[in-house]
Amino acid sequence: MADFDVEEVIAELALHEKVSLVSGIDMWHTYAVPRLGVPSIRMSDGPNGVRGTRFFNGIPAACLPCETALGATFDEELALELGKLLGQECKAKGAHILLGPTINIQRGPLGGRGFESFSEDPVLSGTLAARYCEGVKEEGIIPTPKHFVCNDQEHERMAVNSILTDRALREIYLLPFQIAMQSNPGALMTSYNMVNGTHASESFPLLQDILRKEWGFDGLVMSDWFGVYSVSQALNAGLDIEMPGMSKFRGAALSHAVSSNEVKEHVLDESVRKVLTAVKRSFASSGIPENAPELQRNTPETSALLRRAAAESVVLLKNEGDILPLAPTKKTLVIGPNANIAAYCGGGSASLPAYYTVTPLQGIKNKIGEDKVLFSQGAYGHRDLPLIGDRLRTAAGEVGYTFSVFAESLEENPNRKPVEVVQMTSSNAFLMDYANKNISGTLYYVTMEGIFTPEESGLYDFGLSVAGTGQLFVEDKLVIDNKTKQRGGTAFFGMGTVEERGSVELEAGKNYKVHIDFGTFPTSKLRQGSVVSFGAGGVRFGGCRHLEEKPAIEEAVAAAKAAAAEGTQVVVCVGLNSDWESEGYDRPDMDLPPNTDELVQRVLDVSPDAVIVVQSGTPVTLPWVKNAKALVQAWYGGNEGGNGIADVLFGDVNPSAKLPLTFPTTIEQNPSFLNYRSEGGRVLYGEDIYVGYRYFDKVKQQPLFAFGYGLSYTTFAFTNLKVDEPKAGVVTEQVLTLTVDVTNTGKRDGAEVVQLYVSPPAVNDTLSGIRRPVRELKAFKKVALKAGETKTVTIKANVAQSTSFWDEKREAWQSEAGTYKLTAEGTGADNKLDVPYTVAKTQYWTGLVKNPYA
């Protein structure tokens, strides 16, 4: 089990072996040196589940709620538990390193990958990330916080130059990583983008001056996949391993760079040392053998934890007249595009095949019984047609379709035989990591074939998007031609086409053969020169019954009107899904999918007490919000999302989550509005440190829903706030301790989040004259309380982290002398207390601060 001496191995290694060790051998594995006892270790995505080694036809896994949902819990202990679960999932998938958590900052609502990060606030993000990492490490797995740093948009993400002040870089974007370092995660992933003119993966100031020297990080630094842009500069800056393999920059080119002294061999040795140390540590701590099989561990305990996490992430935004919780004894009409689909995760690297999923409709049926639940579609919410693979059957009657791989095209050899036939259930086949010994290179051909049996007669829409070329046939009739002419789109990380569609009239109960002929990425007619090629491309096909928009809305409105007259409860489920929020592209606007707003408003017109459930990873525009009496934000809830929503709607779980990011009324109200997306190869972080709630506080503008906001089915009151000031000393070692009595003043058991905000001295009362945010979150604590119960809650915070700003002249943090205001905020606009706190003298510092709970 990797019982080798790192220094002895380095002394024995040949140059070509050293060069091989600092890059991967494939998508997920490191290089092994068997003659010296050095095995290969495996990495896996992350951050909300462990996919294993396969994008293509992967092994199902536990899918956690998205990280924005976990941010909404404000629950460090839950983050620790979920980290442990991820560590256990890594063991099932044979993965020694988990590529997560993602702790980038949501500058604004449009980031395609925003759902993958915890919050707009660096302290909330960093604190939860540290606990997440600790949980992963408890299972002997190495976590990998990412993406270091300023990977906050998808537009031109590999080329964009993020231009920002040192103060914003330190106070907002680096701070979550700085806090996460308290957990000593063991690995870190760099981002694709440039930071002030230099790619992060080759930035000496970021990787050496800050990460290594100032923060003392001694772990492995890896690139994002295909996120290396140089031979010598990246290695000299301290990028230890290039992923994935085979290497673009670290083969013969690196050997030549070493032999010509562009890279000193001792510098290469240092990166080799980091790789070998990670290999040795991970084998010793995890017990995972080399090239372990990938397994499933779908246990009742896993389901219970995922259900609790899903429910505890749901934010109650409105509840006028105490409409919620709903009565489980009453009939319930469920309407909407997100009701009968499982929007369980966002798209891209965070996506994975789940053990199972639960839709909101099924969750409600599970809660109150199928006989009491009615359903009306109302509208569709998909951007691309729903995947159809699990609704097909093979010729043998098994669920799914056959995926037959050929080395030659049908035109080249009409009598060709497949080199492999795979049974698939997902009709999204990304071939980034597909391999077959009979296929050389990325050019090959695939035929997919299955039988579709519609439950209803009518017109059916089919859709096909490819990174390559493809044609879709129904009963051998060409329905979609995505081969002859092609239009560029966002599929497969920007490699692919838009979804082309075609329609066919089908009869209920009749079997129809559906097949697709596909050629891999080298056959593509697109010329998207800036796109990185992720393997051999991919193919995605979907389908569903055609829905006429106006009649479908009218039908749902009629059902809602009848339900209101009969006393039937109404729930409307709307939102986004992985089509709209995904790695590879940003959202064009904040809007819900077409026809959604009309559906919601029309239902509210006839059923004013309808409960609106919104699923999204980031804020959406809610033009009908004033007319809604009951509104919940439910995010992407993972495997158990539908059950978690039902638990909250029917009162089995009292909602306690708070918004981890600000919901503006419109996109124009967001502070990054004028400076989002790449223009001329750069993006200016013009809002500076005033991200999210810091901006709204500063300009005294009310957003739609504020950061930290969230209601409960009970009420709480704070009393007796006290602060124990630390003794004089080095500011990074000082810890202030607050206590506050929290009482559940309502009739239901519930949980309260105590949020500690720090407000600086008035700018005119300071020597620096530096303007600062009105208040900043510096700590938080969640506490469960029975009805009528009072508990004393203790919150600890490091003085340096709580009182400092980044002094650009001194290039150091400054904890400035003066009187600060400490505010404990909870549920309800009036539930807050404050107390003064005095910093006696100004101190400057760099590095990491003391963990206040250590």
Tokens of 790: 């009072």
Distance of CA 619 to the CA centre of its chain: 14
Residue 611, amino acid: V
Those residues with Cβ within 8 angstroms of residue 193's Cβ, 6 or more apart along the chain or in another chain = 150, 151, 157, 158, 159, 160, 161, 162, 199, 200
C-alpha to C-alpha distances, 240 to 196, 248, 412, 739, nearest whole angstrom: 22, 14, 45, 44
Backbone angles phi, psi at 558, to 5 degrees: -60, -40
Q: Which of 285, 179, 211 is nearest to 853 (CA)?
A: 179
Query: What distance in Å separates the CA atoms of residue 71 and residue 65, rounded to the nearest whole number?
Result: 10
Those residues with Cβ within 8 angstroms of residue 322's Cβ, 6 or more apart along the chain or in another chain = 713
Distance of CA 499 to the CA centre of its chain: 24
Query: What distance in Å separates the CA atoms of residue 231 and residue 257, rounded to the nearest whole number?
Result: 8
Query: What distance in Å separates the CA atoms of residue 332 and residue 604, rounded to the nearest whole number?
Result: 15
Query: What distance in Å separates the CA atoms of residue 104 and residue 149, rounded to the nearest whole number?
Result: 7
Q: Which of 601, 673, 703, 743 is nearest to 317 (CA)?
A: 703
224 is catalytic: yes
- Beta strands (DSSP E) in 354-506 are 373-376, 392-393, 401-406, 420-424, 428-430, 445-452, 458-467, 469-474, 477-482, 500-506
CB-side neighbour CA atoms (13 Å) of 575: 31
Q: In the chain, how long is the greatest CA-to-CA distance?
A: 85
Query: What distance in Å separates the CA atoms of residue 224 and residue 245, rounded to the nearest whole number?
Result: 12
Q: Which of 633, 548, 511, 454 is nearest to 69 (CA)?
A: 633
Tokens of 517: 């002929």
Burial class of residue 146, CB neighbours in 10 A (0-12, 13-18, 19+): buried
* Eight-class DSSP state of 432: T
Q: Which of 224, 461, 647, 697 is catalytic?
A: 224
Neighbouring-strand partners of residue 739: 722, 794
Query: What distance in Å separates the CA atoms of residue 16 and residue 46, rounded to the nearest whole number?
Result: 31
Give the burial string for 826-840 (b: 16+ CB within 10 Å, else e). Answer: bbeeebebeeebebe
Query: What distance in Å separates the CA atoms of residue 731 and residue 800, rounded to the nearest whole number?
Result: 5
Burial class of residue 293, CB neighbours in 10 A (0-12, 13-18, 19+): exposed
Query: Within a 10 A sphere around the Cβ of 400, how many other Cβ atoms?
Result: 19
Q: Which of 259, 260, 209, 266 is nearest to 235 (CA)?
A: 266
Tokens of 655: 């909602």
Neighbouring-strand partners of residue 464: 500, 541
* Active-site residue set: 224
